[in-house]
């Protein structure tokens, strides 16, 4: 009987298996598998990571394709990865359209557990795809006691300790020896190496490593990985990311060598605080000594595991060839001091001492969550010219990174590279804006063939001055390497106005140049910090341009470091310093990044965890603002920037009574708009997370703030106090104007634009909001006029002057007045680049739909206007590639779109007609 039962079970199972596999088709293909937004990540610390895939359909004529079910299997080895033997998770056929944010639901994962996975999907026609290609993730080192590596390096630097104490004591007393404060000890980079034997074949080799400061590792003389600036900038007091390298195939039987060198990086090197604060240390902010931690895990053919951790047995040469390396100052490399073959086997290290093991060091190590920083482009000189005994090089593009240099000269010959974003009128480098950032790399030649790549520093530059040459500098000797965090590019744009195409390129580069694991304000001067206003206003733009999901997942963790009063910081990481400086707390329009960035993650990637992760902090932030401002007008502010660098401030001739950075919108108006905006947004967030009591409570608060705002700042004609383009834009955008006055307020906005002769007077925060409102109220024509204007101040004005990135200020340089305010004048700032969001949303017409987060549904509504006769572009969303391309020919508007599998587009045509479009290619025509 039992046998019969078993047999019938078997029959049912096999019937099910065949129905699961029924009508297999190959025109739909599951691809782009990711785990926690990364492709085959080697270490994932999240115990229930989120999986995602895209579905490609090769036949775009088969329209309206949707996913109706999926099946995932996860196994500990590729061999086990099939329906019957997968040992970690067999999801079974799950009826669901979900193809993103699918939470792993299998066995509990152990440290370093290998997870191989694949997925297949069913469509709405009852067809099933083939299985995807296998993808992989591996669990990270999940518990600190599995870190066998110890923190190693040179002996504690007593001079550094004294320096740091000196700064700490004197920043309170405010008496100081300026020279001492600005010149901390700077020992050369140490060289570390470990020689070890391997007797058995290595099946898999994985290196886990991190450092205080930057590090680079070699295995048998070959560089491990291509990441630069590792470990990246995090709030090191909270956590430090470690990197994982697959070194399989790099080891051999017999002697092997792991080698490393260290530099200051963000943990020890100069940071933005030195710009504003006397006594902010010039070295040693997060740590005093550079340290390495690593363990190489060798899985051997006999089934055993051998681990080579950093420990006392590693050898140290304290006098390395990198004489100095600092992000701001630059890097000095003495090629004469490179011990030949030091990072490879066969080197005699018997006269090297043993490393110091720092038993006091305990940092919270977390697997790297974001794509690494690396060189993403190489640029050749477009022009080299000689000035006296120096050479100037123009790379044709403002970038962040460094120059790599190939040369054979005299031993001891010193070559110096200075960097700048722009040239002075006399043709020399414009470096007055760099402040404490010296931005000079120095190469001391060995006399043989030398190759220098100063990877432990970075500069923002288009121009380089080379001195010390006694023979001509030629094009093949120097190359500029553009370096940044390196997620996939997701957006493209092209239209009939070449200036707009250049603007698009400028914005792309500006984003690139400021992505150094955090979003910096600029890559060139002595600041390079995470100015939160810049980030929040550019967040959606950055997401259109690149896949920011992993980048922001990492970054959001840094937002958790909040001020003691409960408010978010306005600069992340905060850089607060020893009671001397509390950090940059709660500047309206800046600190709300703590709500806006997670919301963008939700809207674009359907990421609920991003909201959950900061939920408590968001609530505390609003509570703190309320506590400190009982009458609900946000008057008590710890910091304030207002509508930073607005064009209102650029009066010609300058008006001395004007606040030259903040401009015309009254501070209380600006601040209260953001108090209301944050509270209203929090209501939406609470609703998504089913926190209904919170939603009701904060809705009442938002209503009260709005009522108070109206009483104080809006008159019966819809005039908002300040009467600026910015005030109307922000108040309308965030819903602070009563319904019956919205049209009137909008008319005032238009009047303010007219009074400015159809030019902008807006700053960082209000500019993109105004552009959006002009569309919402049916004045797309004015938006185009502003966008396409080449008159000062405008986006294209910069373009006509040769800008290749977006300037910090509308008037960074003008032919009439030259450079503006040297201490704050970068040519590479994201905020005004936020207009690219408008270009995606309104020229291409691609818009996410907050009611269907993660592009399950979206809108395509191009709004032809201005001089444009055509535009085309795309956005590779989390569910697949959306493209939109239109042209106007002989009075006929033709729109071609591509809608990804499993999504629906609401198409709105210029004549107002609406269509629903499922997956596939669609063409629409409208008589204009």
Which stretches of the chain bind ligand BGC, using CB under 6 A? 521-522, 527, 531, 533-534, 641, 644, 824, 829
List the structure tokens of 100. 């993103």
DSSP string, 134-172: PEEEEB---SGGG-----EESPP-HHHHHHHHHHHHHHH
Rank residues 127 and 643 by Cβ distance to ligand BGC and give the closer one.
643
Which helix (H) or strand (E) segment holds residue 203: the answer is: strand 202-212
Residues of 416-454 as b/e, b for ≥16 C-beta within 10 angstroms?
bbbbbbbeeeeeebbbebbbbbbbbbbbbbbeeebebbb
Please state, in angstroms and rounded to a whole number, the distance separating the CA atoms of residues 717 and 736: 14
Rank residues 435 and 920 by Cβ distance to ligand BGC and give the closer one.
435
Q: How many other CB atoms are found less than 10 A from the CB of residue 411?
A: 12
Per DSSP, the three-state class of 471 is: coil
- Closest separation between CB of residue 460 and ligand BGC, Å? 12
Residues of 349-378 as b/e, b for ≥16 C-beta within 10 angstroms?
beebeebbbbeeeebebbbbbbbbbbbbee
- Closest separation between CB of residue 587 and ligand BGC, Å? 7
Rank residues 527 and 668 by Cβ distance to ligand BGC and give the closer one.
527
- Indicate the burial class of 182 (C-beta count within 10 angstroms; 0-12, 13-18, 19 or more): middle
DSSP type of residue 831:
G
Q: Does residue 200 contact residue 256 with C-beta atoms inside 8 Å?
A: no
- Closest separation between CB of residue 274 and ligand BGC, Å? 13
Q: Does residue 749 contact residue 728 with C-beta atoms inside 8 Å?
A: yes
Please state, in angstroms and rounded to a whole number, the distance separating the CA atoms of residues 418 and 399: 14
DSSP type of residue 792:
S
With CA atoms as reference, report the closest residue to 206 among 106, 308, 119, 60.
308
SS3 letters across 316-365: EECCCCEEEEECCCEEEEEHHHCCCCCCCCCCCCCCCEECEECCCCCCCE
- Closest separation between CB of residue 857 and ligand BGC, Å? 34
Which helix (H) or strand (E) segment holds residue 597: the answer is: helix 593-605
Per DSSP, the three-state class of 858 is: strand
- Closest separation between CB of residue 79 and ligand BGC, Å? 53
Rank residues 522 and 604 by Cβ distance to ligand BGC and give the closer one.
522
Could you identify the residue written with the tokens 């006999």? 302
* Residue 808 annotated in active site: yes
Rank residues 410 and 432 by Cβ distance to ligand BGC and give the closer one.
432
Count CA within 13 A, CB hemisphere, residue 460.
33
Please state, in angstroms and rounded to a whole number, the distance separating the CA atoms of residues 243 and 38: 14
- Closest separation between CB of residue 640 and ligand BGC, Å? 9
Annotated catalytic residue within 127, 371, 603, 808: 808
Sequence-separated (6 or more) residues with CB below 8 Å from residue 165: none
* Residue 527 annotated in active site: yes
Q: Which residues are bridge partners to 309 per DSSP?
A: 295
Annotated catalytic residue within 150, 455, 527, 617: 527
Rank residues 332 and 520 by Cβ distance to ligand BGC and give the closer one.
520
Sequence-separated (6 or more) residues with CB below 8 Å from residue 717: 741, 744, 748
Which helix (H) or strand (E) segment holds residue 870: the answer is: strand 870-877
CA distances from 369 to 325, 355, 366, 540 (A): 26, 30, 8, 20
Rank residues 32 and 521 by Cβ distance to ligand BGC and give the closer one.
521
- Closest separation between CB of residue 536 and ligand BGC, Å? 10
Rank residues 397 and 522 by Cβ distance to ligand BGC and give the closer one.
522
Give phi and psi for 92, each to the nearest 5.
70, 180
What does the longest C-alpha to C-alpha distance in the chain come to? 100
- Closest separation between CB of residue 768 and ligand BGC, Å? 15
Rank residues 272 and 920 by Cβ distance to ligand BGC and give the closer one.
272
Rank residues 641 and 903 by Cβ distance to ligand BGC and give the closer one.
641
Rank residues 522 and 861 by Cβ distance to ligand BGC and give the closer one.
522
Please state, in angstroms and rounded to a whole number, the distance separating the CA atoms of residues 262 and 326: 11
- Closest separation between CB of residue 824 and ligand BGC, Å? 6
- 3-state DSSP helix/strand/coil % of the chain, to nearest 5: 25, 30, 45
Could you identify the residue written with the tokens 């990421």? 607
Q: Does residue 246 contact residue 206 with C-beta atoms inside 8 Å?
A: yes
- Closest separation between CB of residue 533 and ligand BGC, Å? 5
Q: Does residue 745 contact residue 751 with C-beta atoms inside 8 Å?
A: no
Q: Does residue 803 contact residue 811 with C-beta atoms inside 8 Å?
A: no
Rank residues 262 and 645 by Cβ distance to ligand BGC and give the closer one.
645
Q: Which residues are bridge partners to 326 per DSSP?
A: 330
Rank residues 588 and 598 by Cβ distance to ligand BGC and give the closer one.
588
**Regarding beta strands 478-485 and 390-408, do their DSSP bridges make them parallel or antiparallel, or are they unpaired?**
antiparallel
- Closest separation between CB of residue 644 and ligand BGC, Å? 5
Q: What residues are labeled active site?
A: 527, 808
């Amino acid at each position: 009987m039992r046998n019969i039962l078993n047999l019938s079970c078997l029959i049912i199972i096999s019937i099910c298996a065949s129905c699961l596999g029924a009508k297999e088709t190959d025109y739909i293909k599951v691809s782009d598998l990711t785990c926690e937004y990364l492709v085959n990540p080697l270490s994932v610390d999240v115990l229930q990571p989120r999986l995602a895939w895209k579905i490609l359909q090769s036949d775009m004529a088969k329209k309206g394709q949707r996913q109706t079910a999926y099946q995932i299997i996860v196994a500990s080895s590729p061999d086990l990865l099939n329906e019957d033997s997968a040992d970690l998770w067999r999801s079974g056929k799950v009826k669901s359209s979900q193809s993103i944010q699918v939470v792993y639901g299998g066995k509990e994962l152990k440290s370093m557990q290998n997870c191989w996975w694949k997925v297949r999907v069913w469509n709405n026609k009852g067809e099933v795809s083939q299985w995807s290609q296998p993808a992989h993730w591996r669990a990270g080192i999940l518990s600190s006691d599995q870190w066998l590596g110890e923190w190693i390096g040179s002996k504690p630097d007593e001079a550094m300790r004294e320096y740091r104490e000196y700064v700490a004591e004197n920043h309170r007393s405010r008496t100081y020896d300026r020279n001492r404060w600005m010149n901390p000890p700077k020992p050369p980079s140490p060289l570390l190496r470990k020689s070890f034997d391997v007797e058995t074949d290595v099946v898999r080799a994985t290196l886990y490593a991190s450092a205080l400061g930057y590090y680079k590792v070699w295995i048998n003389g070959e560089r491990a990985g291509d990441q630069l600036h590792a470990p990246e900038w995090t709030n090191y007091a909270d956590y430090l990311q470690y990197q994982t390298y697959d070194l399989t195939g790099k080891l051999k039987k017999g002697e092997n060598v792991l080698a490393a060198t260290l530099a200051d990086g963000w943990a020890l090197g100069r940071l933005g605080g030195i710009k504003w604060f006397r006594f902010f240390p010039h070295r040693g902010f997060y740590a005093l000594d550079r340290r390495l931690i690593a363990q190489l895990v060798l899985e051997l053919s006999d089934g055993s595991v051998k681990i080579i951790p950093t420990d006392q047995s590693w050898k140290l040469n304290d006098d390395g060839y990198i004489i100095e390396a600092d992000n701001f100052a630059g890097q000095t490399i003495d090629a004469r001091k490179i011990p030949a073959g030091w990072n490879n086997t066969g080197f005699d290290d018997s006269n090297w001492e043993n490393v110091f093991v720092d038993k006091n060091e305990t940092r919270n190590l977390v697997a790297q969550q974001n794509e690494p920083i690396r060189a993403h482009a190489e640029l050749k000189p477009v022009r080299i010219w000689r000035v006296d005994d120096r050479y100037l090089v123009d790379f044709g593009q403002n970038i962040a990174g460094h120059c790599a240099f190939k040369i054979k000269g005299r031993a001891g010959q010193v070559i110096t590279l200075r960097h700048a974003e722009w040239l002075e009128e006399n043709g020399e480098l414009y470096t007055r804006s760099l402040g404490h950032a010296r931005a000079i790399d120095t190469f001391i030649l060995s006399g043989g063939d030398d190759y220098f790549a100063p990877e432990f520093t970075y500069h923002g530059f288009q121009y380089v001055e080379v001195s010390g040459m006694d023979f001509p500098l030629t094009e093949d000797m120097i190359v500029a390497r553009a370096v940044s965090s390196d997620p996939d590019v997701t957006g493209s744009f092209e239209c009939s106005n070449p200036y707009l195409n250049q603007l698009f390129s400028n914005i792309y580069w500006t984003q690139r140049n400021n992505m150094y694991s955090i979003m910096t304000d600029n890559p060139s001067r002595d600041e390079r910090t995470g100015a939160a206003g810049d980030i929040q206003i550019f967040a959606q733009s950055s997401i259109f341009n690149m896949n920011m999901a992993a980048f922001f997942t990492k970054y959001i963790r840094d937002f958790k470091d909040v001020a003691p009063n409960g408010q978010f910081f306005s600069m992340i990481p905060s850089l607060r310093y020893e009671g001397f400086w509390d950090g940059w707390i709660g500047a309206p329009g800046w600190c709300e990044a703590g709500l806006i960035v997670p919301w963008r993650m939700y809207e674009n990637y359907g990421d609920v965890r991003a909201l959950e992760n900061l939920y408590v902090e968001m609530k505390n932030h609003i509570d703190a603002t309320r506590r400190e401002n009982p009458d609900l007008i946000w008057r008590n502010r710890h910091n304030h920037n207002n509508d930073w660098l607005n064009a209102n401030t650029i009066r010609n001739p300058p008006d001395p009574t004007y606040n030259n950075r903040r401009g015309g919108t009254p501070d209380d108006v600006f601040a209260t708009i953001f108090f209301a905006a944050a509270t209203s947004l929090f209501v939406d967030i609470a609703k998504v997370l089913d926190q209904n009591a919170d939603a009701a409570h904060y809705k009442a608060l938002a209503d009260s703030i709005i009522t108070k705002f109206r009483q104080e700042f809006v008159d019966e004609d819809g005039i908002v106090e300040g009467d600026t383009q910015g005030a109307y834009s922000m108040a309308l955008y965030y819903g602070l104007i009563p319904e019956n006055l919205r049209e009137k307020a909008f008319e005032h906005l238009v009047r303010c634009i007219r009074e400015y002769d159809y030019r902008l007077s807006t700053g960082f925060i209000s500019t993109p909001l105004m552009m959006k409102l002009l569309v919402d109220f049916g004045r797309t024509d004015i938006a185009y006029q502003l966008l396409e204007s080449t008159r000062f101040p405008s986006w294209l004005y910069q373009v006509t002057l040769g800008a290749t990135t977006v300037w910090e200020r509308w008037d960074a340089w003008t032919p009439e007045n030259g450079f503006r305010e040297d201490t704050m004048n970068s040519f590479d700032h994201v905020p005004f680049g936020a207009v690219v969001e408008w270009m995606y949303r309104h020229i291409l017409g691609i818009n996410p739909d907050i009611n269907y987060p993660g592009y399950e549904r979206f809108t395509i509504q191009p709004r032809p206007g201005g001089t444009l006769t055509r535009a085309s572009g795309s956005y590779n969303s989390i569910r697949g590639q959306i493209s939109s391309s239109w042209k106007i020919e002989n009075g006929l508007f033709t729109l071609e779109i591509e809608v990804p599998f499993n999504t629906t587009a609401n198409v709105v045509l210029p004549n107002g007609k609406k269509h629903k479009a499922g997956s596939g290619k669609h063409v629409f025509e409208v008589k204009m």
